[in-house]
């Protein structure tokens, strides 16, 4: 069985590593589009043009499953991709439902790209699971590029996280896989004040179910 993991940049590599650690016997390939990252400010049409060549290659090489390790792609063009490719696609998506189930203060923060926050999929998740909670959406638009270039501005990240903590947030959703690389830093800032969640365990559970 051939499994692909796709992202705009190194964010998806964290997902790839998590999968490899759990399924060392599988043929898993990671591909990304570093030339055109970040994806977080791209339009739907731009994303389709950028992602199509990679997915065409996955199909030409007879991959069985492709994991979209990119919230921006998953929340914006998933329907179009599923319509055009025969392999199974596993997306990631902002964990609004999970956050709504564990928050005690009824206030959560979703750290995501601008395109993800504007997507119809994310808005649908908010409508379905966010009716009785306050969802904060801090400005994280520079984070993916900082992480990709290894030029992390710790003061800016600290300020962003502290601002949502000060507003009563007790769950922080990492809705961009690039942010997984600073997950431990965010957990240190949140120490005993908020939980930090991201979807790698959900992806692994989905793969176990399929395999």
Catalytic residue numbers, as ranges: 70, 176
Structure tokens at 59: 């199909």
Structure tokens at 27: 């043929």
Quick one: CA dihedral 146, 184, 40, 74, positive or negative? positive
* Strands 171-174 and 107-111, bridge-based pairing: parallel
Tell me the Ramachandran region of residue 102: left when phi exceeds 0, alpha when psi lies from -120 to 50, beta otherwise.
alpha
Tell me if 112 sits within 8 A of 140, measured CB to CB. yes
């Amino acid at each position: 069985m051939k499994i692909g993991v796709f992202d705009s940049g190194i964010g998806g590599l964290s997902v790839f590593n998590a999968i490899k650690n759990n399924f060392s016997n599988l043929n898993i390939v990671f591909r990304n589009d570093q030339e055109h990252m970040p994806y977080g400010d791209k339009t739907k049409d731009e994303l389709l043009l950028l992602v199509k060549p990679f997915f065409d290659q996955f199909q030409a090489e007879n991959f069985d499953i492709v994991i979209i390790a990119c919230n921006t792609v998953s929340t914006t063009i998933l329907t179009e991709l599923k319509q055009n490719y025969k392999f199974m696609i596993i997306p990631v998506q902002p964990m609004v439902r999970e956050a709504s189930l564990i928050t005690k203060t009824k206030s959560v923060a979703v750290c995501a790209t601008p395109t993800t926050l504007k997507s119809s999929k994310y808005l649908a998740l908010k409508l379905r699971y966010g009716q009785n909670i306050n969802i904060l959406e801090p400005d994280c638009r520079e984070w993916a590029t900082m992480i990709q270039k290894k030029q992390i501005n710790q003061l800016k990240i600290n300020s962003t996280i502290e601002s949502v903590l000060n507003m009563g947030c007790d769950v922080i959703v990492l809705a961009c896989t690039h942010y997984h690389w600073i997950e431990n830093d965010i957990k240190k800032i949140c120490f005993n004040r908020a939980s930090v969640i991201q979807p790698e365990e959900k992806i692994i559970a989905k793969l176990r179910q399929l395999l």
